[in-house]
Structure 1
Amino acid sequence: MPSRTPAPAAAPAAPASPVAAADSADWGRVTEDGTVEVREGDDWRVVGQYPDGTHEEALAYYVRKFDDLAFKVHTLEQRHQSGGASASDLTSQAQKLVTEITGAAAVGDLASLHARLTALTETLSEAREAEAREAKELVEKAIADRTVVVEAIEAVAARDLGKVQWKQVTEEVSALFDTWQSQQQNGPRLPKGISQKLWKRFRDARAVVDKGRRAFYAELDETHKAARDRKNALIERAEALAPKGVDGIPAYRGLLDDWKAAGRAGRKADDALWARFKAAGDALYAARAEQSAAEEAESAPKIEARKALLEEAKAVADEPNIKQARALLTRIQRQWDEVGRIFPREQERALDDKLRVIEQALKSREEVDWKRNNPETKARANDMSQQLQDAIEKLESELAAAEKSGNKKAAKEAADALEARRAWLNALGG
């Protein structure tokens, strides 16, 4: 049933339609009762009624309806020509527009709009095929990219998770998950079956890694707890040494070895525990520092006394009489011991070393004197000297006889032997 359209009370002025201005007689007509018809081929079709206006106003109204449809077709053609719009979307819109134009209550060349839409749809068909190929390629690439991510996390899960660096592994898994989400959000939509299969692989591999991480940190927590317990016990023992003062230092050093072997308790816990353990040791070493300071103050006059003895001991080297030199040194050594211990020990050792040089020099002199004055040594030396003197006299005779006879070879051998015997005699002091 044709629509009955009353004239608007105060319709705004509209631009003249090309159809209304030039082609209204070709495409539309109005009967005496205000019925508006549109020509479609050789037939006329009723599009509505406009009883309250003139025939021109009635045609103009339905021409504007046609112009709206023509504008939509033109806009669709422009979007296709300008690019950027999906051919599939444009095709869908064209099909909807065909439905809208078919039997439309409008006056104009509706057949031409149908023809333009048909031509546009045919043109879009090739574009849709190209889009489909491109979409397929994008999906295939997305599947390949997603598979790379899945295989990467499966490779992580296949490692010996008891020996990995978990900070590094956690960063790797987080990066792979971020990549997965980015591909899912920004990439093409994958077929549901493939997408679910890939996600299951990714999820299962990540679950393996998460399980390994939880096991590692659970074991690490137990290890840290055991180390904390051991170190707390060591702290209690170290703090109990405080009343012993300096005498507690050897025991504290033993506890320090145990501390090094106790293992790690976690960075924060270790720092706090070490602060307590070190404080207990600092108290012992502070007591030793106080004792050392007192000992050093007490040692000052002792140091001066030993320095004075060193000055006196210099006379030992100048004393020609070895017995008197030994007596002088013995007296100095006795007084040296009577001075008592000196602190710090390094200074005591330095003073002892200086006295030891004087002692060693005297000892060397005594050894030389003993060798020189030992009766047995003297007897052996005298016997050897006599033998050498006898040999020398014999060689002198042989040398004279060889020279007299002109035997140069015998003379040279006798001279060489004579020179050697004289050197030995001089070495014996003969």
Structure 2
Amino acid sequence: MTTDPWGRVDDDGTVYVRTSEGERVVGSWQAGAPEEALAFFRRKYDALVTEVDLLENRLRTTDLSAGQALSSVEKLRTAVRDANAVGDLDGLERRLDALTERAEQRKVEQKHAQEAARTEARDIKERIVAEAERVAEETTHWKTGGERMRQLIDEWKAAPRADRPTEQALWKRMSAARNAFSKRRKAYFAGLDQQREQIRKDKEQIVAEAEALADSTEWGPTAGRYRDLMQQWKATGRADRTSEDKLWARFKAAQDRFFQARNAVFAERDAELQVNAEAKEKILEEARQEISAIADPREARARLRAFQEAWEEAGPLPRDARDRLEGAFRKIEEGVRKAEEKEWERTNPEARARAEATVAQLRDSIAELEAKLEKARVGGSDRKVREVTDALEARRSWLTEAEKTLDEMS
């Protein structure tokens, strides 16, 4: 009989393996020496060891799922229990028990990880749905809102999946938000179409009145009415682009026809008024020379009246010269008025009396300060001398200005 630590071969060629439960027949050997039989059945054991090694390595180094690991362990356990092999089968059973514990631990870890992943997925999709609902309820920028809604749908598709009930409930909200946004946008544009149609009708009326006024010869009132119509046009808003362009072309054509006719009439009238402009140019030049040479404001006013009468008699001015000539003549009138005001200020008895009183007060004050200065010098107080000297210099400066003002009134 040939023996081995884990098995033996009986004299009749029967091969046994030793386990904790006792010996078990694993085969028979008739073809050679008993040592060869043990070597053959040990190789079968080595094959089982290799499979266990591989499973341990996979469980240690890969993300093999706990379910797959447990299934593989059970298959190997059955293979070990029924193995026709010679070796430490109990040791392999213990290694498989350890693998089972590790797989069960991984099962718990994977369950926690799945729960955490589902929670994260739920939070991500909750955020996506909440923003979609906000866009659906609040946005009025339809282009950017539509683009954002499409982006949120893409984000939803790219996000990880939560558990099925949560996924279905959130998608129901997401779909409802998208539909609500589409309904609000359609309602807005439907209302906008109605509004634009009303604007088109209002502008049709504006254009109709503009066209009715195009041949008017009441230049002033009609020009004012065209300005009013333009303000109404701007305040009315915009119709659809096609109607807006057509109506504006009609409005502008009517307005241009009126103002072109008015400008033609005014141009003819301005040509007739050119002789008035030449006459007023001459009056203006004479007024400048004569009035500037008159020193007495009363005389200047009397002479100005004569020029004003001549100015009125010369008649209206053409438009291109009106502002320039009228403005120049007003400057002459303003000069005479200022000269009169200055003369009044100079000869005003009340103002002269106030100026004389000011001069007298300053002279009295200076006299008092001069006396105080002499007293301070005698007393030897340098500080008092400086104070009085400063006050005296200020009063003398004020007196100089007051005397100058009084002289100008003389």
TM-score normalised to structure 1 length: 0.53
For 2:104, which of 128, 138, 141 is the aligned residue? 128
1:193-232 alignment to 2 at 5 Å? 195-196=164-165, 198-232=166-200
Note if contact 1:28-1:37 (Cα within 8 Å) is conserved in structure 2.
yes
Q: CA deviation at 1:76?
A: 1.3
Change over 3 Å in CA distance of 1:54–1:37 after alignment to 2:
same
1:254-269 alignment to 2 at 5 Å? 254-262=228-236, 269=240
Do residues 279 (structure 1) and 258 (structure 2) align? no
Q: CA deviation at 1:140?
A: 4.7
What is aligned with 1:376?
Answer: none
1:152-191 alignment to 2 at 5 Å? 153=129, 157=133, 164-165=139-140, 181-185=157-161, 190=163
Q: CA deviation at 1:98?
A: 2.6
Q: State the alpha-carbon separation in 2 of the partners of residues 39 and 130 from structure 1.
A: 37
For 1:351, which of 321, 325, 333 is the aligned residue? 325
1:11-410 alignment to 2 at 5 Å? 39-41=16-18, 42-46=23-27, 68-82=47-61, 84-103=63-82, 108-109=85-86, 112-113=88-89, 115-126=91-102, 128-129=104-105, 131-133=107-109, 135-136=111-112, 138-140=114-116, 142-143=118-119, 146-147=122-123, 149-150=125-126, 153=129, 157=133, 164-165=139-140, 181-185=157-161, 190=163, 195-196=164-165, 198-237=166-205, 240=208, 241-242=210-211, 244-245=213-214, 253-262=227-236, 269=240, 271-284=241-254, 286-287=256-257, 290=260, 294=264, 298=268, 299=270, 302-303=273-274, 305-316=276-287, 318=290, 326=305, 329-337=308-316, 342-344=318-320, 347-358=321-332
Q: Which moved more, 1:299-308 or 1:227-236?
A: 299-308
Q: State the alpha-carbon separation in 2 of the partners of residues 350 and 26 from structure 1.
A: 132
Change over 3 Å in CA distance of 1:127–1:217 after alignment to 2:
same
Instruction: Give the secondary structure class of the aligned counterpart of 2:323.
Output: helix
Instruction: Give the secondary structure class of the aligned counterpart of 1:44.
Output: strand
Q: State the alpha-carbon separation in 1 of the partners of residues 30 and 255 from structure 2.
A: 114
What is aligned with 1:11?
Answer: none
Identity of aligned residues (%): 18
Looking at CA atoms only, which structure, 1 or 2, has the larger radius of gyration?
Answer: 1
Q: Which runs of 5+ in 1 are unaligned?
A: 1-22, 367-426
Note if contact 1:326-1:362 (Cα within 8 Å) is conserved in structure 2.
no
Q: CA deviation at 1:60?
A: 9.2
Change over 3 Å in CA distance of 1:179–1:356 after alignment to 2:
closer
Note if contact 2:49-2:92 (Cα within 8 Å) is conserved in structure 1.
no
Residue type of the alignment partner of 1:220: Y
Change over 3 Å in CA distance of 1:144–1:229 after alignment to 2:
same
Q: State the alpha-carbon separation in 2 of the partners of residues 293 and 223 from structure 1.
A: 44
TM-score normalised to structure 2 length: 0.55
Change over 3 Å in CA distance of 1:87–1:306 after alignment to 2:
same
Deviations 1:25-66 (A, max 9, x none): 96789x9xxxx975333443449x999x99999999987766
Q: CA deviation at 1:116?
A: 1.8
Q: Which moved more, 1:171-180 or 1:92-101?
A: 171-180
Note if contact 1:37-1:44 (Cα within 8 Å) is conserved in structure 2.
yes
Residue type of the alignment partner of 2:187: E
Q: State the alpha-carbon separation in 1 of the partners of residues 300 and 227 from structure 2.
A: 53
Residue type of the alignment partner of 1:315: E
- What's the RMSD between the two structures over aligned residues? 5.3
Q: CA deviation at 1:224?
A: 0.9
Q: CA deviation at 1:155?
A: 8.5
Instruction: Give the secondary structure class of the aligned counterpart of 1:72.
Output: helix
Q: Which runs of 5+ in 2 are unaligned?
A: 217-221, 292-298, 341-408
Note if contact 1:249-1:284 (Cα within 8 Å) is conserved in structure 2.
no
Change over 3 Å in CA distance of 1:182–1:214 after alignment to 2:
closer
Q: State the alpha-carbon separation in 1 of the partners of residues 307 and 140 from structure 2.
A: 74
Note if contact 2:66-2:106 (Cα within 8 Å) is conserved in structure 1.
no
Change over 3 Å in CA distance of 1:75–1:349 after alignment to 2:
same
Residue type of the alignment partner of 2:105: E
Q: CA deviation at 1:226?
A: 1.4
Note if contact 1:69-1:101 (Cα within 8 Å) is conserved in structure 2.
yes
Q: State the alpha-carbon separation in 2 of the partners of residues 63 and 147 from structure 1.
A: 56
Residue type of the alignment partner of 1:309: K
